A and B are shown apart, each in its own frame.
Chain A
């Protein structure tokens, strides 16, 4: 970030923190919540009592760069994976790739394939969690279902206990693949510059192959569940494609050499709101394409396409806002990398009116399609003779200076950027997490939902639910977006009149 922007950001940050502290008047002692922070939505009304602006804010985690400075760069895959208990593997892998870049070293074929295997396993299990547990209640149980049923238990009631057991057991088996290579799921110790720390024992191969095959079957089963419950219900499809959940923005995603979706590696491709390629660049050029906008009311940084300049929270051809995550990945690529996923994606675009799909809620379906690709990729990698090669690492010999790594985290692109001295000690560290990439579009979604539900000062019942649905589709790691610990997010909505006086406060619960 340049110094002027940094200064503006810091000032905004201070103001927002002060305002936030002032606003934190209402707390609930609720032991289950691990109150790391509140999701806070501020809604500002105009003279007529209609919504002028609505903002989503979350508390921030401080001190990433300070904490990193002086540490050996090799520690970053471990340190960054500890920041977040939700997507440790994504941070671990982005950091590991940044180390490859830092030391200018290419992983061996086996090293790369083991990383990809672990990464696809992570993608599949994390998406499964969202489909069944986090986003599932909105669709599988239904958006209009009583609040008491819109949770995982409601999902189990709908799909059956046996399916529930299958979900839990499958997720654990897939996580065991990550644990086999990385030692632990939550803090993997796998990635090294130039490769990985552990080879695949040929004796373990049959078991891993079986898990991969079952994981693919599970992904296909999930696709069927989604068809049966969501797509066969015309009300759901109508809701997915409704204006309330539609924004015509740019999309950014990682693609392989044939412009197909890739979660682990590739070039970054941006398409415009009509689906036409706008840019394609390597991670190392990210600062030429991604800039961060700071608003005085928030400490969130809103990413936008730098070549287009900040154009406000606007959509359509004049927008410079882009989205990441499943919806964006499918839009930004020419296709999926594996045949069954490709078939599913073709149906997706056909059903939703062609490419690009601008419907935020389609993220849920795109997520299921990505599970299929992750499953197929796992199967392919475990049938690749390279996978059991003991040559899992190229030892780096170059002097380090700058390293930039990127992966597709389940919730979108994740950038890690380190600069070191020639001993490899960190001098500078930055990261852009998925939800930061998505922050502007999420803000638009929240505002759209609020506008639909507040008229002339009257707040429609169900506001919180609709607002939540608007941003839950992005699978936001809200804590992480502000570099904070993710946890339970008691959502609080503050409604201010035109004099900026708090007139109403709603707490989800």
Chain B
């Protein structure tokens, strides 16, 4: 009955659109923008859909991570329901990329966290009718002369139901959120430090 659903309370999307896009714009026009002063080096990108039950998990994790990393100046957290080419705007200009997303492999119980390195990304994957994979976006961005992340880390949470319209996650997936948040925070902090020392 309630009219309240995810979209009424998603500050992250606002962040994604208002804070990041201008920077990405600059990156398109000036490929070296990523080296500018005051840039964030690490991007945490939470993907998903707030009204598709478990598909919200990547967004939920990103929002919680944002709370925990408020002091980390070089880390930017974006949660977005956009996909495909639109993600180029977010990703361009960062050196490190952390993706948090839902996945359904059917091989692990819901709530399992699959942790993968970007090496697992096939850079030019299958062509799909309506999608660009992260690997393709990275390759495309580099081709266009943009600063693109050199390292990619993926936290993919096994989900039970990403197909039913609904605003609450299933129990095992919701229970997994704090652990994923911890892992992402630890990874982001250590890599923000490493990235800073790699690129003084």
Contact = CB atoms under 8 A, between A and B. Distances in A.
Interface of A: 24, 27, 29-37, 39, 59-64, 66-67, 70-72, 75, 78-79, 82-83, 85-86, 129, 133-134, 137, 147-148, 150-153, 156-157, 161, 164-165, 168-169, 171-172, 179, 183-187, 468, 471-472, 475-479, 484-491, 508-509
Most buried by B among A34, A59, A85, A478: A34
Given A31-B121, A67-B51, A152-B136, A24 B127 contact: no
A335 to B, nearest CB: 30
B165 A67 contact: yes
Contact of A485 (B55, B105, B116, B140): B55
Nearest to B82: A186
B3 A35 contact: no
B170 to A, nearest CB: 14
Contact of A32 (B5, B80, B125, B129): B125
B135 interface: yes
B122 A32 contact: yes
B143 A164 contact: yes
15 contacts: A27-B106, A29-B114, A31-B156, A34-B101, A37-B163, A62-B164, A70-B1, A82-B7, A133-B132, A179-B17, A476-B129, A478-B130, A484-B163, A487-B131, A508-B127
Interface of B: 1, 3, 5-7, 13-14, 17, 25, 28-29, 47, 49-52, 55, 80-86, 88-89, 99, 101-107, 114, 116, 120-122, 124-136, 139-140, 143-145, 154, 156, 162-166
Given A148-B124, A186-B81, A186-B86, 12 more contacts: A30-B120, A31-B99, A34-B102, A35-B103, A61-B164, A82-B7, A150-B127, A156-B144, A165-B144, A187-B7, A485-B55, A486-B131
A63 B143 contact: no
A148 B81 CA distance: 28
Contacts of A62: 163-165
Of B1, B121, B140, most A-chain CB atoms within 10 Å: B140
A491 B114 contact: no
A186 B80 contact: yes
Given A32-B121, A171-B85, A156 B129 contact: no
Contacts of B25: 172
A32 B84 contact: no
Nearest to A86: B130
A71 B166 CA distance: 13
